[in-house]
Amino acid sequence: MSKCRRNLLLATLLAAPLVATPALAEKYGLGREALPEEINAWTVEVFPDGKNLPEGSGSVADGEKIFADNCAACHGDFAEGVDNWPKLAGGDGTLADKDPVKTVGSYWPYLSTVWDYAHRSMPFGNAQTLTVDETYAIVAYILYSNYLVDDDFVLTKDNFLDVEMPNADGFIVDNRDEVEVPKFSEAACMSDCKTDVQITKKATVLDVTPDEGNGEDTAAADTAAETDTAEAPAQDAPAAAEEAKAEAAPAESLSADPELVAAGEKVFKKCKACHQVGEDAKNRVGPVLNGLIGRQAGTVDGFKYSKSMTLHGEDGLVWTEQTVEEYLADPKGYIPKNRMSFAGLKDPEDVKAVLAYIESQGG
Per-residue pLDDT at 304? 77
Instruction: Provide the pLDDT confidence category of residue 18 given band limits of 50, 70 and 90.
Output: very low
What is the arithmetic mean of pLDDT over 147-172? 94
CA dist., res. 63 & res. 65, Å (int):
5
Q: Does residue 35 register a pLDDT over 70?
A: yes
- Give the three-class secondary structure for 233: coil
pLDDT exceeds cutoff 80 at 45: no
- Which one has a higher pLDDT value, 332 or 109? 109
Closest CA to 88 of 284, 301, 331: 284
Question: What phi and psi, each to the nearest 5 degrees, are found at residue 362?
Answer: 105, 10
Cis peptide before 17 (omega within 30 of 0): no
Q: What is the mean pLDDT of residues 130-139?
A: 97
DSSP codes of every residue in 35-53: PHHHHHHTS----TT-TTP
Helix/strand/coil for 310: helix
Where residue 328 falls among pLDDT bands split at 50, 70, 90? confident
What is the percentage of the chain residues whose pLDDT exceeds 70? 78
Q: How far from chain centre, in Å, is Cα 76?
A: 15
Q: What is the per-residue pLDDT for 217?
A: 46
Residue in 342, 339, 310 with CA at minimum distance from that of residue 328? 342
- Kindly tell me the burial class for residue 176, based on how many C-beta atoms sit within 10 Å of its own C-beta (0-12, 13-18, 19 or more): exposed
DSSP letters spanning 160-181: GGGS--TTTTSS----TTTTHH
Specify the pLDDT at position 214. Answer: 53
Summary count for the chain: helices (H), strands (E): 13, 2
**Cβ atoms of 250 and 293 closer than 8 Å:** yes
> Which of 66-75, 110-119, 336-345 has the weakest average pLDDT?
336-345
318 pairs with which residues across the strands?
Answer: 296
pLDDT higher at 130 or 273: 130
pLDDT digit string (tens) for 185-243?
Answer: 988 888 888 888 888 877 766 566 666 555 444 444 444 444 444 444 444 444 444 55
pTM: 0.50
**265: which residues sit within 8 A by CB, 6+ positions away?**
357
Q: Of 133, 64, 155, whose CA–CA distance to 339 is shortest?
A: 64
Beta bridge partners of 156: 57
| Residue 168: band (very low, low, confident or very high) from pLDDT cuts 50, 70, 90 | very high
